[in-house]
């Protein structure tokens, strides 16, 4: 019963994350005004704005203009709903439960702002880094990251991307990576610790290169086509708490 309640609350939060994903990059207010259809600006009344369910009932279309609504809205709501239930199964109602939700929620938002707008927003990475620091200081980090691991992870994560970016700029004279990536690694380092940085960096770069090549050679995108690299960092970070220790045990 309680899991069902958490699933519903998660869906509501997911619906709010969708608002953030669409409005933060567009510099729109996230609290005021109703949700509206991005095609026809139709204000969606609350009874048509039920997380997860509305999308299924309306078959992914706007009730007013019949335009397709991006599947990402549905995915974000569903993922967040499962995140709440999963986190509760891991930690019960505890500080770690909230920490886990905060970290993974930020990953969900970052994944979709990078996918849709090629943006990793400071408005997300900086506050979540600070909250991560707080969880480490009170020693209730859901990933068992200790204080020094965390501080070192944050600093090394940020500097590594900063240096790669600097070298890339010197060689190619174009910006390869934004500082958004550096701040994302600051955040990841703080939450997951120093050991996570290089594994996440290597696996996301590899996955990004493979998927990038597929798009260039199979889908014939031109070479300037930009990969939302942040999405790969997010995926690698999301998997790290489960798979990272497995990898290090193999070494």
* Residues in contact with 187: Cβ distance below 8 Å, sequence separation at least 6, in sequence order: 106, 125, 128, 129, 132, 154, 157
Among residues 20, 52, 62, 184, the one that binds Zn ion under rule CB under 5 A: 62
Q: For the segment 136-155, give every residue that binds Zn ion (CB under 5 A).
A: none
Among residues 19, 37, 85, 205, the one that binds Zn ion under rule CB under 5 A: 37
Report the alpha-carbon distance of residue 202 to residue 37 in Å, rounded: 39
Only segment of 59-67, 156-164, 179-187, 225-233 that touches Zn ion (CB under 5 A): 59-67
Is residue 40 close enough to count as binding Zn ion by CB under 5 A? yes
Is residue 23 close enough to count as binding Zn ion by CB under 5 A? no
Report the alpha-carbon distance of residue 212 to residue 126 in Å, rounded: 28
Is residue 64 close enough to count as binding Zn ion by CB under 5 A? yes
Provide the minimum distance between the beta carbon of 40 and Zn ion in the complex, in angstroms, as a whole number.
3
Provide the minimum distance between the beta carbon of 79 and Zn ion in the complex, in angstroms, as a whole number.
24
Q: Which is nearer to Zn ion, 40 or 71 (CB)?
A: 40
Among residues 36, 42, 118, 162, the one that binds Zn ion under rule CB under 5 A: 42
Alpha helix locations (H) across 27-120?
53-57, 71-91, 95-117
Is residue 70 close enough to count as binding Zn ion by CB under 5 A? no
- The count of residues in the chain is 251
Is residue 65 close enough to count as binding Zn ion by CB under 5 A? yes
Alpha helix locations (H) across 92-178?
95-117, 122-137, 147-172
Go through 160-179 and write b for each residue having 16 or more CB atoms within 10 A of its CB, e for each that does not: bbbebbeeeeeeeeeeeebb
Only segment of 15-23, 54-62, 139-147, 204-212 that touches Zn ion (CB under 5 A): 54-62
What residue ranges bind Zn ion (CB under 5 A)? 37, 39-40, 42, 62, 64-65
């Amino acid at each position: 019963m309680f899991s069902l309640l958490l699933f519903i609350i998660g869906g509501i939060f997911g619906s709010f994350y969708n608002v953030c994903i669409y409005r933060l990059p567009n510099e729109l207010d996230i609290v005021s005004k109703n949700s509206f259809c991005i095609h026809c600006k139709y204000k969606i009344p609350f009874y048509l704005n039920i997380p997860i369910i509305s999308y299924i009932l309306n078959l992914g279309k706007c009730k007013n203009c019949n335009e397709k609504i991006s599947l990402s809205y549905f995915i974000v709501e569903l993922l967040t709903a499962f995140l709440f239930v999963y986190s509760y199964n891991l930690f019960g109602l505890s500080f770690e439960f909230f920490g886990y939700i905060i970290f993974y929620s930020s990953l969900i938002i970052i994944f979709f702002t990078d996918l849709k707008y090629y943006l990793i927003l400071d408005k997300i990475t900086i506050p979540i880094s600070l909250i991560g620091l707080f969880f480490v200081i009170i020693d209730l980090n859901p990933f068992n990251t200790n204080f020094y691991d965390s501080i070192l992870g944050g600093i090394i994560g940020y500097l590594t991307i900063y240096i790669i970016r600097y070298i890339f700029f010197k060689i190619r004279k174009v910006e390869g990576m934004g500082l958004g990536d550096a701040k994302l690694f600051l955040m990841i380092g703080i939450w997951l610790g120093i050991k996570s940085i290089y594994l996440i960096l290597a696996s996301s770069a590899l996955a990004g290169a493979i998927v990038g090549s597929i798009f260039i050679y199979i889908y014939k995108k031109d070479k300037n086509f930009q990969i939302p690299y942040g999405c790969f960092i997010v995926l690698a970070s999301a998997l790290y708490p489960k798979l990272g220790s497995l990898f290090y045990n193999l070494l």
